[in-house]
């Protein structure tokens, strides 16, 4: 399995994410660009006013999958460092749930890698979000990971 | 007691909707040697019929890797039935 550089950062955290720290983490003299993705809690979902969200994860597997994504973008794009952090627990409107920062000598690779990373995270990392509304709560629809497409469970 | 079909011990983890529907976060179980992930899921669906409606949306993992339903379970495996993921 491809590995990720020591200087990368992959974390699941409960306290608030501080984007500035993560941007500093990936910023180095040899780079010329940093692209970041800041995903935060929206105040509505399918037209219903959201009160707050709760995230949970299969933590050991989620971290392993985040590192795999990191390894993939290092392989595919000419980038330098990656910081990828997802928050768990209760999050209020406007709080950052996921942050990805990618540095590179040139901007194109940083843009492409950051987009690729967040798209893949949403499809393959075992994290779940429950949305709380005034009148109840639901698990977000989510995506079925393209995991093992060959067989289905017996029906 | 010795048995014709020896069983193996596995750990099963539950997350999200599956955790809520079963009320379980983690349990150790025994299953016959050679059983598949689909067999194990079937056993939970019999115990928790409310899972049946979500069967088509679940993906299995074995030792923290996504795994096909026909994967055979080995002793000491860590198994989970994962609902659609919604991080981000």
Residues in chain B with CB shorter than 8 Å from the CB of A68 are none
List domains and CATH numbers for chain A: 9-134 (3.90.1170.40)
Vertex B82, ends B46 and A66: CA angle to 5°?
165
- Is residue B85 within 8 A of residue A123, CB to CB? The reply is yes
| A13's tokens | 């955290």
- B67 pLDDT higher than 70: yes
Strands A96-104 and A136-139, by their bridges, are unpaired
Average pLDDT, chain A: 94
Instruction: Take residue A73 and report the two structure tokens written for it.
Output: 């973008």
Q: Which domains does chain B have, with CATH numbers?
A: 7-82 (3.10.20.30)
Structure tokens belonging to residue A31: 């780079």
Minimal-distance CA residue of chain A relative to B14: A58
The pLDDT score that the predictor gives to residue A149 is 47
Distance between CA atoms of A57 and A15, rounded to whole angstroms?
15
Q: Residue A82 has which token pair?
A: 């990656």
Task: Among A58, A66, A117, pick the best mutation site for testing chain B contact (most B Cβ within 10 A).
Answer: A58
List CB contacts of A46: < 8 A, sequence separation 6 or more.
Answer: none
- Asked whether the predicted pLDDT for residue B76 surpasses 90, the reply is yes
Distance of residue A70 Cα from the nearest chain B Cα, in angstroms: 16
Judge whether residue B31 has pLDDT over 70.
Answer: yes
Residues A106-115 have a mean pLDDT of 98
Q: pLDDT tens digit string along A87-99?
A: 999 999 999 999 9
Tokens of A113: 């890698």
For residue B38, give the chain A residue with the closest CA: A153
pLDDT above 50 for A155: no
What confidence tens digit (pLDDT) does each residue in A36-73 have? 999 999 999 999 999 999 999 999 999 999 999 999 99
Q: What is the ipTM of this complex?
A: 0.93
pLDDT band of A13, cuts 50, 70, 90: very high
Residues in chain A closer than 8 A to B42 (CB atoms): 153-154
pLDDT of residue A147: 67
Q: From the candidates B15, B60, B85, which should be mutated to test the interface with A, based on the most A CB atoms within 10 A?
A: B85
């Amino acid at each position: 399995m491809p590995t990720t550089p020591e200087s990368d950062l992959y974390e699941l955290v409960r306290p608030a994410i501080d984007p500035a720290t993560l941007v500093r983490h990936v910023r180095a003299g040899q780079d010329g660009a940093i692209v970041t993705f800041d995903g935060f809690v929206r105040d509505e979902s399918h037209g219903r006013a959201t009160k707050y969200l709760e995230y949970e994860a299969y933590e050991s597997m989620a971290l392993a999958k985040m590192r795999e994504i990191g390894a993939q973008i290092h392989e595919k794009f000419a980038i330098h460092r990656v910081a990828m952090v997802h928050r768990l627990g209760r999050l209020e409107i406007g709080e950052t749930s996921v942050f990805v920062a990618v540095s590179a000598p040139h901007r194109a690779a940083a843009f492409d890698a950051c987009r690729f990373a967040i798209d893949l995270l949403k499809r393959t990392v075992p994290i779940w979000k429950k949305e709380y509304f005034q009148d109840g709560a639901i698990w977000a629809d989510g995506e079925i990971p393209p995991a093992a497409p060959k067989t289905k469970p017996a029906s | 007691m010795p048995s014709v079909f020896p069983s193996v011990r596995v750990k099963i983890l539950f997350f999200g909707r599956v955790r809520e529907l079963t009320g379980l976060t983690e349990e150790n179980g025994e299953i016959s040697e050679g059983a598949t992930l689909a067999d194990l899921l079937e056993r939970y669906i019999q115990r928790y019929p409310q899972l049946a409606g979500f069967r088509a949306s679940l993906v299995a993992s074995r030792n923290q890797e996504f795994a096909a339903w026909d994967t055979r379970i080995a002793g000491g495996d860590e198994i989970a039935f994962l609902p659609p993921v919604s991080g981000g």
